[in-house]
Structure 1
Amino acid sequence: MKEIKVAVVEDDIEIANILKLALSREGYRVRIFDTSEKLLNDIIEYRQKYDVVILDIMLPGMEGRDACKFLRERGIGVPILILTALSEEEDKIKGFDSGADDYITKPFSVRELIARVKALLRRGGRTEEQIISPAGDGVKFFDDSRTVEINGNRVYLTKTEFAILKILVENAGRAVRKDELVLKLGGRGSVRAIDVHVKNLREKLGNEGNKIKTVWGIGYRFEQEDSGKDK
């Protein structure tokens, strides 16, 4: 049976020890870091691989979200669970936009955290999947690295951006309501958050982002060709 390795980045030694004990009881091999820099050095310089990273936001030196973004920009797709005392919706959006897969706030239930780690491990165990756009647009989705290739350009997306684009592409030519997107995303977030994610999607995709059309009063539509309407 494959050994599961979990990295915990937490500068509060009491919380770090609680997490190490709970995760170790599940049979995971746990390594604790008290700064983002130590984690990044371990992954980038020493090429250590982890199955899940639990990353606090408020850390000395580089904050957790910046460390998350740093890893994603280098194509490292390890599942990341953000652990933080920040609970406002805007804070959560920033966490997901940095490339986090999940978000749990302090104080937290150890049982819930373990359940979320297990969910990330199940998700991370899938084989890489490619989906071709039904619009024949040559859009390919790579689940393992959470990247998308569109017209030869490969771009890293956050978990929510990836899911939104996949939904729009699978429904190419049809306007997808914002509340429908929220529902298909598991009810997380809000209509306002959808607008923020779509804005970020367009920026990341560059010229290809113009294929995501705003349908006023309804939602968004993915078009194969830029017709110049509904911008």
Structure 2
Amino acid sequence: MRLLVVEDHPALGPDLKKGLERCHYLVDLVTNGEDALARESDVPYDLIILDILLPGLDGREVCRRLREMHQQVPILFLTALGTVDDRIQGLDLGADDYLSKPFDFRELEARVRALLRRNSSTRTPVLSFQDITLDTRTHEARRGERLIALSSKEYTLLHFFMSHPREILSRTTIAEHVWDYDAEQFSNVIEVYVRYLRNKLCAAGEPNLIQTVRGSGYQLKEPIQ
């Protein structure tokens, strides 16, 4: 799942990004409303965590414009404006949830989970391809009955592959969705992590399912006979 955090506080923004990444989300951070609109037009985010008191274009205006553009991405306002009138105004503008600062990170995490469940109610929580399964609720990966221990980045990479079975995924596409937005230079890092993932998926001698497509990228597909 890819999240956009829009927060201009120099300490809180990075802290939110790190905390959510520890929960296995891919997180982009911007500090103003203009950048938030630009990112949302380029990247299909699963959720936006949006401050209201932003420099320039404030969070309410960002929310209003996104809804005018018929963007249905879930929006959670995270703001110091916590009166009943503030909450009503935010929800009436089209936000899906509203959390006032100061807050407990565990509550934020629970609200994020709830919004993502609501937005993906038609999706299965368990992804599968051949004999590989990935439970997006528990973050457990299995090859057959064998449980596979994955790092946070390996989990995100496998999740991306299994969300796009048989598609040829370029290194640039993988970089944009699994690493930071501007990580096109991560080609060698991507190669290393694909190797890590292959080694873990094939640790018991199973056939390789992540194929290298020369000059194009990688593809999760049935094993070559």
Q: TM-score, normalised by structure 2?
A: 0.53
1:27 counterpart (10, 24, 36) = 24
Given residue 119 of structure 1, which amino acid in structure 2 is its aligned partner? A
In 2, distance between residues paired with 1:68 and 1:22? 24
Number of matched pairs: 123
CA shift, 1:127, in A, is 3.7
CA shift, 1:98, in A, is 1.0
Q: 1:120 — aligned with what?
A: 115
In 1, distance between residues paired with 2:98 and 2:63? 12
Tell me, which stretches of 5 or more residues in structure 2 are unaligned? 124-225
In 1, distance between residues paired with 2:8 and 2:19? 17
1:6 counterpart (3, 11, 31) = 3
Tell me, which stretches of 5 or more residues in structure 1 are unaligned? 129-231
Determine whether 1:95 maps to 2:98.
no
CA shift, 1:97, in A, is 1.0
Given residue 87 of structure 2, which amino acid in structure 1 is its aligned partner? K
What secondary structure does 2:102 align onto?
A: coil
CA RMSD of aligned residues (A): 1.2
Please list every run of at least 4 consecutive aligned residues from structure 1 whose deviation after the TM superposition is greater than 6 angstroms.
none
In 1, distance between residues paired with 2:92 and 2:34? 20
1:48 counterpart (43, 51, 54) = 43
Determine whether 1:74 maps to 2:69.
yes
What secondary structure does 1:78 align onto?
A: coil
In 1, distance between residues paired with 2:10 and 2:33? 15
In 1, distance between residues paired with 2:46 and 2:22? 16
In 2, distance between residues paired with 1:69 and 1:123? 21
Given residue 31 of structure 1, which amino acid in structure 2 is its aligned partner? D
What secondary structure does 1:57 align onto?
A: coil
CA shift, 1:126, in A, is 2.4
